[in-house]
Amino acid sequence: MTNQEFYDNHLVLLGNNDVNELVEHDYHDDAEMILLVAEEPIYIKGKAALKVQLGDYLANIYRGFVSTQKLAITDDSIHLEATIMTAWGESKVYDALYLREGKIFRHYSGLKG
């Protein structure tokens, strides 16, 4: 699977709203997510913690993908700016995904202004 295909499939998995499928398919066993959505970064390590965090995100915040504004893909990373629909309306987000063994190893995520 190319990293473009990985990204496209990641959006499908988000839309499926199944946190177990999303984490098991897309995240490395040693994955870490760094959220830049509060005054201090929030660090989430491991699949169990990711399932809690992403489960809450899917249940309470994420309502759908709108569009990608910027996308940069290399052999081991994906960086994007996108618009998503949330429980509060449209939001601009950015994500940087560092991939190892075809799965997300580091995931930096935040909201734009």
Q: Could you tell me the residue ranges of all domains in the chain? A: 3-111
- Residues 39-57: b if buried by 16+ CB within 10 A, e if exposed: eeeeebeebeebbebbbeb
Q: Which pLDDT tens digit goes with each residue over 3-18?
A: 999 999 999 999 999 9
The answer regarding whether domain 3-111 maps to CATH 1.10.287.620 reads: no
- Residue pLDDT, tens place only, 44-56: 999 999 999 999 9
Give the whole-angstrom CA distance, residue 100 versus residue 112: 26
Find how far residue 93's CA is from the centre of its chain: 10
Q: Identify which of 96, 98, 90 has the alpha carbon closest to the alpha carbon of residue 110.
A: 96
So what's the pLDDT on residue 112?
A: 85
Q: Give the count of alpha carbons within 13 A of 29, CB side only.
A: 1
Query: What is the per-residue pLDDT across 66-113, written as a single tens digit (0 to 9) for each?
Result: 999 999 999 999 999 999 999 999 999 999 999 999 999 999 999 886
Measured CA to CA, the distance from residue 93 to residue 46 in angstroms comes to 23
